Copies of this chain bind each other. A is one copy, B any other.
Amino acid sequence: MGACQSFREMCDREKNTNVHLSLPAVCIVWQTAMIILFGVFMRYDHESDAHWVEHRKHSNLTDIENDFYFRYPSFQDVHVMIFVGFGFLMTFLKRYSFGGVGFNFLIAAFGLQWALLMQGWFHWLDADGKIRIGIENLINADFCVAGCLIAYGALLGKVSPVQLMVLTLFGITLFAVEEFIIISVIHARDAGGSMVIHTFGGYYGLSVSWMLYRPNLHQSSRLQGSVYHSDVFAMIGTLFLWMFWPSFNSAICDHGDGQHRAAINTYLCLASTVLTTVAISSLFQKHGKLDMVHIQNSTLAGGVAAGTAAEFMLMPYGCLIVGFCCGIISTLGYIFLTPFMEKHLKIQDTCGIHNLHAMPGVVGGIVGAITAASASIEVYGHEGLVNTFDFMDKFKDMVPTTQGGHQAAGLCVALCFGIGGGIIVGAILRLPIWGDPADDNCFDDETYWEDVRICNVKSEFSRYFSTQKVLGCTKRKKLYWYP
């Protein structure tokens, strides 16, 4: 046992986190590939092309009816969620804020290009073999990226940027296939992506994390926590996610009542979640104190669960009920399930994405199936029903009850792609070539980021404590006992 232990430690010490060649190479090669593929395939659609002015006159439209004005405000909100929301939510670790917000930035910027291509090939390919993009494609690309950022949440602090790039490349690819099957083949509706984004992204990340299990992660446990200020930074992420989630769920809904209703539903769902999260957090803590982890994460579960049914007639009280349940489930997940999973299932989930995305995503899928199955002409009106569920063309004979079944089938597909894809990609990421950190080096920015602060702190410090001895600098000169 002792020998085994020391052997492992030796291996760990020999881990090479040098990404001096691999990271630049991956970035340059993939960006060059993007340029070539964009050159071959990507064109403006008729609403963003300079020919629009002719098209507009021909179709007797006004400028304001360009899709841009229906969707641009929502797009920008979604964009904020992806970069500031997800990014700052992951700054909570005391020494991994750079990695949280910085790598999030990197993989989102790469992912959205690849997503434009992948989704374009599946959904927007014209007769002449070109992909025509407009504002809706940008939103969809951001959505697609969200799936991979969720997965990053489970791996935060334990992987190298190169691994993240690989994770994203495969993740986007899997996402596009899964989305095509769920939306186009099965004809499930999923405006806010409870199934397509959150269930898939959540289980994808958990499976990868299971494959990359680190038995000696406790060696860096001193860094696997927050400090006061890093928790306040994370609240920036939480609040921007919470506030803009109505835009997320309504961004690609139908014009008019679809977008309007999705925003209202999500707003109500999220409000309700906050109260039950606080209740459960307080109930299970000594003296009724609140836990910042729950406030930062579980308050968002309602937005996830409102995704699929966002544009349905969920009714205001229905939204409150969904939010009520999700706040409870998600907070209990943080208290009981995450430690259980780490101990018994060997799944190390840094941000608790199982509680914030995976479980509420499944709840959202189920809520969507039930709401769809119970839709009626009384509630929707005939045209409203056709409009909301898109009972047109190939699916014009569909009825709500069968639609409910299709929704459930969609959820299963998302689960399979998440778990299956995660295991395969996890296996690839286990190869010892990606520059991931040793167990005692996890959750530490220093591995991949220039560390200007050491010298600064040192010099500031030594102005007051004159002898170097007091400082007790270790050889590696880590001194940051603040923050």
Contacts and interface: CB of A to CB of B under 8 A. Distances in A.
Contacts of A431: none
B242 A290 contact: no
Interface string A449-468: 11111001101110111100
Given A42-B316, A317-B35, A229 B231 contact: no
Nearest to A255: B63
Contact of A17 (B18, B263, B287, B295): B287
A20 interface: yes
A450 B242 contact: no
A2 interface: no
Interface string A296-329: 0001000000000000010111001100100000
Contacts of A67: 260
A370 interface: no
A43 to B, nearest CB: 7
Nearest to A287: B18
A441 to B, nearest CB: 12
Contacts of A54: 381, 383-384
Contact of A289 (B271, B279, B450): B450
A290 B101 contact: no
* Number of identical monomers bound together in the oligomeric complex: 3
A197 interface: no
Contacts of A44: 261, 264, 313, 315-316
A180 interface: no
A448 interface: yes
Interface stretch (A150-158, A220-228, A352-360, A416-424): A220-228
Contacts of A243: 76, 79-80, 83-84
Contacts of A27: 275-276, 278-279, 282
Interface in A390-430: none
Nearest to A435: B288
Interface stretch (A90-98, A200-208, A339-347): A90-98
A171 to B, nearest CB: 17
Between A23, A134, A278, the greatest number of chain B beta carbons within 10 A of the residue's beta carbon is seen for A278
A31 B288 contact: no
A451 B286 CA distance: 11
A228 B97 contact: yes
A142 to B, nearest CB: 10
Interface stretch (A3-11, A185-193, A232-240): A232-240
Given A28-B279, A36-B317, 11 more contacts: A19-B282, A20-B285, A31-B324, A48-B257, A50-B385, A52-B384, A72-B263, A84-B236, A105-B239, A109-B270, A460-B481
Given A84-B236, A383-B53, A483 B64 contact: no
A415 B316 CA distance: 34
A247 B317 contact: no
B23 A288 contact: yes
A53 B381 contact: yes
Top 3 nearest A-B pairs (CB, nearest first) are A50-B384, A20-B288, A52-B257
A228 B50 contact: no
B317 A39 contact: yes
Interface string A236-262: 100110111011000000011101110
